[in-house]
């Protein structure tokens, strides 16, 4: 049997309001990989003040994490996003679509008053499965 991650948006459910999938099914023998929240820090440890710069660094850090585990964005099954200010969806989705193309994972977004450090404006946690 060709086991794979299956993503779907059931016809009887509302269409997603963004670039995500309503249901992601993972085969039972898959290995689960969960990251700590990735933030907008650059390689020198600097956290830029600009929100979109933090978004860009967050995606770069996600790509680095995937590389260390030798997995691709196709393995990502769920992304949790927390932000302390309004997300510029055009900018975030340009980074999102570059990473995922069209194999969108499930996604949850929450706006909160603050994250782990005062300068952090966005944090993204990745759940992935390797078959």
pTM above 0.85, yes or no: yes
pLDDT at 18 over 90: no
7 assigned to some structural domain? no
* Residue whose C-alpha is closest to residue 56's, from 64, 106, 84: 64
Domain carrying residue 84: 25-130
Residue 106 has pLDDT above 80, yes or no: yes
Q: Flag whether 4 is in a domain.
A: no
Q: To the nearest whole number, what is the mean pLDDT of the chain?
A: 94
Would the pLDDT of 131 be above 80?
yes
CA–CA distances in Å: residue 49 to residues 61, 84, 104? 17, 12, 28
Can you give the pLDDT at residue 2? 63
pLDDT at residue 99, rounded to an integer? 95
Residue 118's CATH number: 3.30.1330.40
Structural domain includes residue 49: yes
Residue 58 lies in a domain: yes
Per the DSSP assignment, residues forming a β-bridge with 116 are: none
The number of distinct structural domains making up the chain is 1
Cα–Cα distance between 45 and 62 in angstroms, integer? 15
Q: What are the residues facing 6 on neighbouring strands?
A: 25
Site of tokens 């009887």: 12
Q: What is the pLDDT of residues 19-53, one digit of tens each?
A: 899 999 898 999 999 999 999 999 999 999 999 99
């Amino acid at each position: 049997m060709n086991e794979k991650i299956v993503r779907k948006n059931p016809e009887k459910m509302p269409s997603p309001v963004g670039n995500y999938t309503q249901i992601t099914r993972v085969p039972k023998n898959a290995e689960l990989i969960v990251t700590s929240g990735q933030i907008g820090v650059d390689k020198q440890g600097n956290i830029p003040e600009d929100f979109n710069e933090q978004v860009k660094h967050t995606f770069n850090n996600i790509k680095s994490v995937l590389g260390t585990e030798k997995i691709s964005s196709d393995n990502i099954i769920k992304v949790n996003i927390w932000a302390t200010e309004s997300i510029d969806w055009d900018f975030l989705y340009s980074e999102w679509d570059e990473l995922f193309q069209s194999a969108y994972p499930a996604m949850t977004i929450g706006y909160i008053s603050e994250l782990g450090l005062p300068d952090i404006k966005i944090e993204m946690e990745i759940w992935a499965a390797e078959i």
